[in-house]
């Protein structure tokens, strides 16, 4: 059989065997190096002291080639204990608040098994917390640590270095007591830090390898979309009726001579009614296809699979939040140019449901979402930012889930009236518009309300957000100059979020202070415009979200509001 005849699977299996052999070869070599430091081997023709320097590359290669971390840790522990000439050594990994022992050498097993590590406690805990290397010359005399914490250490000297991956401490390598009785030198610190850097790469490689073996849903959908052999995408029935693929030409798949062929089944401009959907079900047609046509459609494809993507822990939080954000921005692109508001409402509601669920299930999402908002003055992003800010703020206010859903959907669509305004106008700043253009622009509130109300599938409270979000608390807003609580609660919230988002987009740079500076200018320049009670809560919310405890800018805003 020639190589060309090998199937892809066989080739992949062969690659795994080859990689494993490489692994074994490297490990064997490493073992040899460690156990025969004074060998006459060309590579080993050096003194034991310089071995560790000369062979760091080999060690690094071996460590980063091994894809099973459980094999890496004992190996690393041997290297660091032998390489520094120590009596004992341990390696721990950090998992959230827990610090777990991964390898121990030179300690009786009962001691190694009983040792407990806590973030911030003892030498190991100190390194986890501070992320710096630590050298202790005499355990007895070091006032930073309690002697009790060292009861199982041999001798008096300790060296610990952090293992850092993606900027976080993920573990610690520690050695204890040099056989020579000397203290640890700068060279020892450098040696351990280099090994720690290799371990960090090994951890990352294992991560990548795991991902290769079990690709995340995000990777799966992305590669399905970008698969060049397939120019058609499978879509769901719901997504072609009221979702992201409504209005697309639909195709059916058939197999001719072992090859997939796609037949046009129905043109996109034909209404895809319930009867048609049922006829699909009756005929047992459960897969319908659309032709691929670019990035917007890729995001629509991710939109119909968003629920699976956000739940999949194989993708990082950052990747999942990013896709949630991009999907919403793409949805708003369609909403502002598409004439079907009913579909825009359905899609906005679906997105809000998934985003809310994602946010409620994982506290980390809450804090990351706030950090990932991009304020760039883009009219589409403005709606998405306002909606995300609203969901986070509403959650902070402990609003019930159903209210959050209404608020989030209404916020996403609050400027939908702009779909009916000349597009050259909506890209401009309010200040750049002529008096007539400004009058035109102001109509987006009534237009939005009419569009949403006529869609028949959005509650009145959410429709009112579109109508009232430019009303001012003091009655000087538009379109109806409503005052105080005549304006719906959600619309009063939206007034604050809308103005805050627009002003955040106008500043350059984005540190934690900028939010409070923006608020300060907003309150100063627009006195009477906002509901003070909601504004005070919004300041509290920003304080919690940005982690600013006591800030000068913040106090100034609070004073202004009082």
Yes or no: say if 159 and 198 are a contact pair by the CB < 8 Å rule: no
Closest CB 449 distance from Fe ion, rounded Å: 12
Closest CB 213 distance from Fe ion, rounded Å: 45
415 binds Fe ion (CB under 5 A): yes
Distance CA 124, CA 92 (A): 8
Nearer to Fe ion, 216 or 494 (CB): 494
CA-derived radius of gyration, the chain: 31
Closest CB 189 distance from Fe ion, rounded Å: 55
Q: CB under 8 Å to 79, separation ≥6 — which residues?
A: 30, 34, 52, 59, 195
Q: Residue 324 is encoded by which pair of tokens?
A: 């949630």
Task: Please report, as residue ranges, which positions from 79 to 138 form the binding site for Fe ion (by CB under 5 A).
Answer: none
Nearer to Fe ion, 312 or 415 (CB): 415
What is the residue-wise DSSP string for 529-550? Answer: SS-HHHHHHHHHHHHHHHT-SS
Sign of CA dihedral 550, 552, 557, 561: positive
- Judged by CB under 5 A, the stretch of 56-64, 153-161, 245-253, 415-423 that binds Fe ion is 415-423
Nearer to Fe ion, 240 or 336 (CB): 336
Yes or no: say if 206 and 282 are a contact pair by the CB < 8 Å rule: no
Nearer to Fe ion, 105 or 467 (CB): 467
Closest CB 548 distance from Fe ion, rounded Å: 26
Helices (H), 214-316: 217-226, 237-241, 274-282, 295-304, 306-311
What is the residue-wise DSSP string for 75-136? Answer: HHHHHHHHHHTEEEEEEEEEETTEEEEEEEESS-HHHHHH--EETTSHHHHHHHHH-S-EEE
Greatest CA separation for the chain: 92
Distance CA 269, CA 289 (A): 16
Yes or no: say if 61 and 26 are a contact pair by the CB < 8 Å rule: yes
Closest CB 404 distance from Fe ion, rounded Å: 19
Yes or no: say if 416 and 344 are a contact pair by the CB < 8 Å rule: yes
- Judged by CB under 5 A, the stretch of 24-32, 33-41, 413-421, 526-534 that binds Fe ion is 413-421
Closest CB 337 distance from Fe ion, rounded Å: 17
Nearer to Fe ion, 197 or 421 (CB): 421
Count of residues of this chain found to bind Fe ion when the rule CB under 5 A is applied: 2
- Judged by CB under 5 A, the stretch of 6-14, 122-130, 139-147, 411-419 that binds Fe ion is 411-419
Task: Please report, as residue ranges, which positions from 168 to 227 form the binding site for Fe ion (by CB under 5 A).
Answer: none
350 binds Fe ion (CB under 5 A): no
Closest CB 383 distance from Fe ion, rounded Å: 7
- Judged by CB under 5 A, the stretch of 120-128, 287-295, 368-376, 414-422 that binds Fe ion is 414-422
Per-residue x/- track, 250-269, Fe ion (CB under 5 A): --------------------
Task: Please report, as residue ranges, which positions from 535 to 554 form the binding site for Fe ion (by CB under 5 A).
Answer: none
Task: Please report, as residue ranges, which positions from 480 to 499 form the binding site for Fe ion (by CB under 5 A).
Answer: 498
Closest CB 204 distance from Fe ion, rounded Å: 42
Nearer to Fe ion, 426 or 553 (CB): 426
Per-residue x/- track, 498-527, Fe ion (CB under 5 A): x-----------------------------
Residue 127: burial class (beta carbons within 10 Å; 0-12, 13-18, 19+): buried
Alpha-carbon separation of residue 180 from 157, 161, 184, 455 (angstroms):
11, 21, 10, 82
Nearer to Fe ion, 498 or 531 (CB): 498
Alpha-carbon separation of residue 176 from 100, 125, 192 (angstroms):
18, 15, 12
Closest CB 134 distance from Fe ion, rounded Å: 52
Place of tokens 């795994």: 16
Closest CB 371 distance from Fe ion, rounded Å: 22
Alpha-carbon separation of residue 233 from 227, 245, 300 (angstroms):
10, 11, 11
Nearer to Fe ion, 102 or 442 (CB): 442
- Judged by CB under 5 A, the stretch of 77-85, 110-118, 187-195, 407-415 that binds Fe ion is 407-415
Residue nearest Fe ion (C-beta atom): 498
Q: CB under 8 Å to 330, separation ≥6 — which residues?
A: 296, 299, 300, 303
Distance CA 464, CA 478 (A): 13
Closest CB 342 distance from Fe ion, rounded Å: 21
Nearer to Fe ion, 156 or 492 (CB): 492
Nearer to Fe ion, 188 or 498 (CB): 498
Distance CA 156, CA 180 (A): 12
- Judged by CB under 5 A, the stretch of 81-89, 151-159, 362-370, 408-416 that binds Fe ion is 408-416
Yes or no: say if 473 and 528 are a contact pair by the CB < 8 Å rule: yes
Nearer to Fe ion, 303 or 498 (CB): 498
Closest CB 214 distance from Fe ion, rounded Å: 42
Yes or no: say if 138 and 157 are a contact pair by the CB < 8 Å rule: yes
Nearer to Fe ion, 334 or 498 (CB): 498
Nearer to Fe ion, 303 or 415 (CB): 415
Closest CB 502 distance from Fe ion, rounded Å: 7
471 binds Fe ion (CB under 5 A): no
DSSP label at 508?
S
Instruction: Give residues in contact with Fe ion (CB under 5 A).
Output: 415, 498
């Amino acid at each position: 059989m020639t190589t060309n005849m090998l199937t892809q699977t066989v080739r992949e299996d062969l690659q795994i065997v080859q990689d494993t052999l490489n692994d074994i070869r490297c490990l064997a070599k490493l073992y040899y190096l460690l156990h025969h430091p004074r060998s006459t081997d060309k590579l080993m023709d050096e003194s034991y002291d310089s071995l560790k320097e000369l062979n760091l590359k080999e060690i690094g290669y071996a460590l980063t080639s091994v894809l099973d971390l459980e094999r890496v840790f004992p190996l690393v522990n041997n290297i660091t204990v032998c390489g520094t000439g120590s009596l004992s050594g341990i390696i721990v990994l950090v998992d959230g608040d827990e610090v777990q022992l991964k390898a121990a050498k030179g300690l009786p097993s009962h001691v190694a098994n009983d040792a407990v590590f806590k973030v911030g406690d003892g030498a190991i805990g100190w390194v986890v917390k501070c992320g710096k290397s630590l050298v202790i010359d005499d355990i007895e005399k070091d006032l930073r640590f309690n002697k009790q914490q060292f009861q199982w250490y041999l001798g008096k000297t300790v060296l610990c270095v952090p293992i850092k991956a993606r900027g976080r401490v993920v573990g610690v390598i520690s050695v204890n007591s040099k056989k020579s009785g000397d203290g640890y030198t700068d060279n020892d610190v450098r040696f351990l830090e280099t090994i720690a850097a290799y371990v960090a790469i090994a951890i990352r490689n294992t991560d990548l390898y795991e991902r290769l073996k079990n690709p995340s849903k995000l990777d799966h959908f992305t590669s399905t979309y970008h698969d060049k052999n397939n120019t058609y995408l499978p879509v769901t029935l719901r997504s072609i009726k009221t979702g992201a693929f409504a209005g697309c030409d639909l195709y059916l798949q058939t197999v001719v001579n072992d090859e997939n062929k796609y037949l046009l089944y129905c043109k996109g401009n034909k209404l895809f009614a319930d009867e048609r959907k049922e006829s699909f079900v009756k005929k047992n047609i459960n897969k319908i296809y659309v032709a691929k046509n670019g990035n917007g459609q890729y995001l629509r494809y991710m939109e119909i699979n968003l629920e699976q993507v956000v739940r999949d822990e194989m993708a990082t939080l950052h990747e999942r939040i990013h896709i949630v954000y991009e999907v919403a921005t793409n949805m708003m692109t369609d909403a502002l140019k598409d004439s079907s508001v009913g579909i825009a409402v359905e899609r906005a509601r679906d997105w809000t449901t998934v985003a809310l669920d994602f946010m409620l299930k994982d506290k980390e999402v809450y804090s990351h979402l706030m950090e990932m908002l991009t304020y760039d003055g883009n009219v589409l992003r403005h709606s998405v930012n306002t909606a995300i800010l609203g969901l986070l703020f509403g959650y902070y206010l402990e609003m019930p889930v159903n209210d959050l859903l209404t608020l989030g959907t209404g916020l996403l669509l609050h400027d939908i009236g702009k779909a009916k305004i000349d597009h050259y106008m909506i890209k401009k700043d309010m200040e750049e518009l002529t008096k007539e253009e400004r009058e035109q622009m102001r109509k987006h509130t009534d237009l939005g309300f009419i569009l949403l109300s006529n869609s028949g599938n959005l509650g009145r409270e959410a429709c009112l957000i579109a109508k009232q979000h430019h009303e001012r608390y003091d009655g000087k807003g538009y379109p109806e100059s409503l005052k105080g609580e005549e304006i719906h609660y959600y619309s009063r919230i939206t007034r604050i979020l809308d103005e805050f988002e627009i002003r955040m987009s106008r500043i350059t740079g984005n540190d934690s202070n900028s939010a409070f500076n923006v608020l300060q200018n907003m309150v100063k320049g627009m006195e009477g415009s906002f509901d003070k009670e909601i504004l005070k809560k919004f300041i509290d919310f920003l304080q919690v979200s940005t982690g600013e405890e006591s800030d000068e800018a913040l106090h100034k805003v609070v004073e202004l509001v009082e």
